[in-house]
A and B are shown apart, each in its own frame.
Chain A
Amino acid sequence: DAKTTQPPSMDCAEGRAANLPCNHSTISGNEYVYWYRQIHSQGPQYIIHGLKNNETNEMASLIITEDRKSSTLILPHATLRDTAVYYCIVRHSGGSNYKLTFGKGTLLTVNP
């Protein structure tokens, strides 16, 4: 699986959009971009994933650049409960029968 690079930490004001970047310059054509988050002392939570196209769900939007070498996770209206470590993971296979390799992630702190 391709390696990802994320900033170690970011701050965001409550109610504003949080934009979390991820670089994956060595991504191959059949690799997906996944985002998970981990609130302190809890198991990770799936957020969103995509292959080529931008994706949106009730939690977030995922913007993938045309060359697929980077992506941005957008939380449109961040709340205090969105404070967590966000992990960007690139993996070959969709589906849960394939392991996830976690990097260090980005600690997002949402401030009141």
Chain B
Amino acid sequence: GAVVSQHPSRVICKSGTSVKIECRSLDFQATTMFWYRQFPKKSLMLMATSNEGSKATYEQGVEKDKFLINHASLTLSTLTVTSAHPEDSSFYICSGGQGDTEAFFGQGTRLTVV
């Protein structure tokens, strides 16, 4: 099946700094990718829809200025957590697909803000 690669798998950063997470589709082109967040023992919550060549669509309650999404090409979407704080510590996951097939998920990124 299609492969979505997410990097890094783990990152620890200091409070107040920014962190960029990459999500690549390795063997297909994705016009749409999704970013999810998952807190411990909770389900995945959709944060935003990333659209190639246009602005991302954010879910209610997600700060667009804090979680910057860039989808400049059909194979790469990035999520930047700006001015990270400990409450932003979470598991971030991206997904994408080939449109008419099921979605494939990245391996996830464990962000710890200290």
Contacts and interface: CB of A to CB of B under 8 A. Distances in A.
Interface of A: 34, 38, 41-46, 49, 87, 94-97, 99-105
A100 B95 contact: yes
B46 A42 contact: no
Contacts of A99: 34, 46, 49
27 contacts: A42-B108, A43-B6, A43-B93, A43-B95, A43-B105, A43-B106, A44-B44, A44-B105, A46-B104, A49-B102, A87-B43, A95-B97, A95-B102, A96-B32, A96-B103, A96-B104, A97-B31, A99-B34, A99-B46, A100-B34, A100-B44, A100-B103, A101-B46, A102-B36, A102-B44, A103-B43, A104-B43
Contacts, number: 64
A45 B107 CA distance: 10
